[in-house]
Structure 1
Amino acid sequence: MSIQCTIVPVTPFQQNCSIIKCQATGKAAIVDPGGDVERIMEAVEKMDAVVEKVILTHAHLDHCAAADVLRQQLEVPIEGPQKGDTFWLEKLPEWCQMSGFPHADPFEPDRWLEQGDTVTVGEQTLQVVHCPGHTPGHVVFYYSPQKVAWVGDVLFQGSIGRTDFPLGNHDELISSIRDKLFPLGDDITFIPGHGPTSTFGQERRTNPFVADSRYG
C-alpha cells in the first residue's frame, strides 16, 4: 500500500495545499492549509479520507493561516514546522492584515519538528528534513517509498525560495537544497509550495540558482 496525494491551490497566492492519504487506512494529513477551508474539505471528501493531522512546512501565512481553524474544526493536532518559525506564528494576525488575508489568530503547533524526526500518516512514514533559508524553521517532508517530497517554499521548478523576508538567509537556503535535498536522489519528484512539480535531477541540471554547473 502507498499514499495518494491531491493538490489544492489555495489563497490568492495559489499555494499548493496537499492532502496526503494513506491508502491502507484512509487516514490523511493536510499539508500547508493557507486558507479556503471549504475547498480543502471538499477535496478530502472526494478522496474519502479521514484527516488525522495538519502538517506545516513553514509558518508563512499562505501556508498556515487556516491550520488552527482546521485543528479546532476537526479536533486534530498540528505538527511542524521547526521552532525557528515561532516568531512568524506569533505575528500571524499582523501578517494577515498587511497582506489582505482574513484574520488568523496566533497559534502554536502541538509538536515542533526537528531534523531526523518522522511524521506518520496512517501506516505511512514521512521523513522530516530541516531546510532553513526561506524561513529559519522550514522543514521538508519526504516519503521514500514513492520518492516524493513536499518542499514548501525551499525549491521551485526553475527557481528557489525568497530570502528577503525577516530571518531569511540565502546561503543557508542554497545549502539546504544542495546538501540536504539533492543527495536524496535525482529521481525524487517534489511538490513545491507554488507552481508545477519537478524533480531534484531536473533542478540540478537546469535551475539557474542551484544547478551543478553553477557550483561545479
Structure 2
Amino acid sequence: MALNIQIIPVTPYAQNCTLLWDDETHEAVLTDTGGEAEYLWQLVQDKGLKLKEIWLTHGHLDHVGGVVKMRELSNNVPVIGPHEEDLFLLEDLPNKTREYAPQGFEFSPSFLPTRWLNEGEQVHLGKYVFDIMHIPGHTPGHIVFYCASEKLLIGGDVLFKESVGRTDFPRSSTEDLLHGIKTKLYTLPDDVLVIAGHRDPTTIGHEKQHNPYVRG
C-alpha cells in the first residue's frame, strides 16, 4: 500500500493543486484548490476516491479560489488550514477574484476554514501523518505539510526549485521567509521531495546546494 500523489496545475497561474490518496482506505485530500473545481471533483470521482478534506497552505487567490465551489460539489468537505494570520486574505477573496477576472480567474466569495492550523499540529490521511510548520514571509499565515514517513513536503509558495516565494505583498517579509526556510525546511533530510506551489518539484538537498536566495 502507498501514498499516491498527483500534481494538477490549475488557474491561469498554473498553481500546483495536489491530489493525495491512500491506497488502503481510498481516502483523499486536495491541497490548495485554487480553481477548476469541477475538473478536480471529476478527477476524484473517476478514481473512486472519498474526498476527506481540503488542505490549504495560504490564502492567495490562486491557492484558494476554487474552495467554495469544491465545497458545494462535495457536500461541504472540511477545509483545513492555513494559519489564522491569513484571515485577511480569505476575507478579501471576492475583491481579489474580481480584480483578476480579466486574467481568467473565476469569482469566489470569502470563506472561513473549518479549522485553522498552527505550528506543531498534525493532520492525517489514512495511516499517513503530516506535521504542520508555520513559515510566514510569503504571507503571514503560510504553513507547510510534512510527511516524515514518505519524505514529502507540500510546500506552497515558500520554496521553489532554485527560487523562493515572493515577498512584495502586503504583510510579506523576506527576513521571515528566509529564516523559516533555513531553520525549518533545511533541517529536513536532503531527499525530502518538495511539491512547490508552482513549477517543478525539487528536493531539500538540491535547494541547499543550488538555491541562489538561501543556501544550506
- TM-score of the alignment, normalized to the shorter chain, above 0.5: yes
Q: 1:118 aligns with which of 119, 122, 125?
A: 122
User: How does 1:177-188 map onto structure 2 within 5 Å?
Assistant: 177-188=181-192
| Cα drift, residue 97 of structure 1 | 1.2
Partner of 1:62: 62
Report SS of the residue matched to 1:9. Answer: strand
Partner of 1:95: 96
Report SS of the residue matched to 1:201. Answer: helix
Partner of 1:52: 52
Aligned-partner Cα distance in 1 for 2:206–2:29: 28
1:167 aligns with 2:171: yes
Instruction: Give the gaps of 5 or more residues in structure 1.
Output: none
| Cα drift, residue 43 of structure 1 | 2.5
Count residues in correspondence: 212
Contact 1:8 1:43 in 2 (8 A): no
1:140-184 CA deviation, whole Å, 9 max, x = no partner?
001111101000000100100000011000000001111111101
Report SS of the residue matched to 2:149. Answer: helix
Q: 4+ residue stretches of structure 1 with deviation over 6 A? A: none
Instruction: Give the gaps of 5 or more residues in structure 2.
Output: none
Q: TM-score, normalised by structure 2?
A: 0.95
Aligned-partner Cα distance in 2 for 1:184–1:51: 29
Aligned-partner Cα distance in 2 for 1:80–1:132: 14
Aligned-partner Cα distance in 2 for 1:171–1:26: 41
| Cα drift, residue 22 of structure 1 | 1.3
Report SS of the residue matched to 2:6. Answer: strand
CA RMSD of aligned residues (A): 1.0
Q: TM-score, normalised by structure 1?
A: 0.95
Contact 1:2 1:146 in 2 (8 A): no
Aligned-partner Cα distance in 2 for 1:25–1:123: 9
Partner of 2:199: 195
Which has the larger displacement, 122-131 or 49-58? 122-131
**Paired letter, 2:161:** Q
Aligned-partner Cα distance in 2 for 1:69–1:180: 33
Report SS of the residue matched to 1:5. Answer: strand
1:205 aligns with 2:209: yes
Aligned-partner Cα distance in 1 for 2:120–2:46: 33
Q: Percent identity?
A: 39
**Paired letter, 1:63:** H
Which has the larger displacement, 40-49 or 99-108? 40-49
Aligned-partner Cα distance in 1 for 2:175–2:37: 35
Aligned-partner Cα distance in 2 for 1:52–1:149: 19
Aligned-partner Cα distance in 1 for 2:16–2:44: 15
Contact 1:7 1:18 in 2 (8 A): yes
| Cα drift, residue 40 of structure 1 | 1.1
